Chains A and B, each alone.
Chain A
């Protein structure tokens, strides 16, 4: 089978996949998975001090990580409507490492527009009062400066969606999210009391509404159900600052450690497995990562994907 007909075959798979309700972006993910590396890890050798220096580091690392996968053009095409979903869950400042680094978000917004996106939306379903979270995390300002639409979510726009999951047959997901072409998940790496670490798949809870506080009774299965349905086009993991204890809310600067890393990948399980190692956990210790591996959502053995490692700075 030559390259051309292989592409046609994959496109057909994508359309069938979408029609089979494997999730709104399932087709895109299948397409992306075969046309480049599955994981890239960008690391800054030094640990710059000062807001401007860290901002520059964030921008550089994000760009390198995405370039390492083949560039944003591999994921975003002309005319796309892109949803960038950072962690804007908590009323904290970036230094407290409870929310995604705003410069990582802003860089992804710019890259998406450069790749031809028609609209770029940045939003999340916050746990603390959303107006406060969007402002104090710095994400609203950074996203809007980069030209994205950044707005808080409204209760009335959540729609009951069939997930056909093991723990979640259905759940209320944000309507606007379901209407976009591309979904970029941008978590920050943090300790979590219940599941040890909150990474990419946990970050997807920000698309869910209703009584999300019931997920914790079976976090392993609910998260993988969500991740199976939502299958992001791309996951960009912010590990510039990580929260090593008292997560996911944090509040003690002594719990924040610099890892000066941004990873990007198409395999949700693998990138979460890598993120867990940054906190000192073995990937096998994280329940939802192993469940994702068991359900063949991805592989927990991220080294087997031969990740591109990029050292800068």
Chain B
């Protein structure tokens, strides 16, 4: 009897492995991507970086990672620097409620108009240099000694607009003065997959920024797979990721879109370590580890745990080129924005979106989650500059990409196609 059970388990494992080998590997569904190793050129080459600037960052929609709630009142603004494009964008909430983007450059002599990250300019934004003042909708409304200029009309000197649009509260910009497609066209299937997600009910609960001496793709690629979860994050995720049925499999599903992609990861939360603080936090608030009840899964957005698996850990969504979300539950996600600066410098913004604490006790439970997420990010951060250094030795000319790192392969192809265009 025991033999039979053993055999059946053995058979089912064999079957699964065989099925995967015979065509269930995700990568083989996309023959145009191939299976060859990828070149390290993008991590190293100043020429390639220039191409990325011109063909990608100056042309596609870029998620700022900032949310409309951060500039909720008329006149509120924030500054989004885009070093790769050598520009700075001012995002302002108008009196009509619209969020508009402008190049953060005074039209008099070119001084940077707003120097602070966040501010409010209800009564107009005044340049510190000569006192020119602009309305929140970009019109030039005040010029000291205006009568001393020649053939001068203020209407000719409004701020230069930047194409700006909003998806689910996230502010996107496009530095192409005439974007060939709208933001919603650009986002494609992602719009439907995440419709209904509680983005508007989850405030920015923590946010960190780090400058890294590494190419922006090293930063990005580190977040496009969770192969590293079993090793780099073994203390946090190791036990949850153990898949006895298919030890090499940690992916439940993946979808590649025209530009963007998603991947859904296996994880068995019953194997979460129930440490003393974990139990207290679960009792008095929400825990990122023991989170969410899987009870109401049928009511979740289509794109959250798309296979409706009970062994679901989280999903990642990659919005090409610089935005990445990790959806951990219907009411908890984190997001990464990655900005190139130079070929070997980049800026990483990592944020947590978490339910609004209702009591001071929930401030403590939120802090527990924040510190846990931060420390896991510090694990991520440890590899970035070391990988750049390793690649700069010239020892690697290419690197192999396994099936479950497919999003890296796809993102590389999307960039290659845009650069060749």
Mutual binders A and B = no
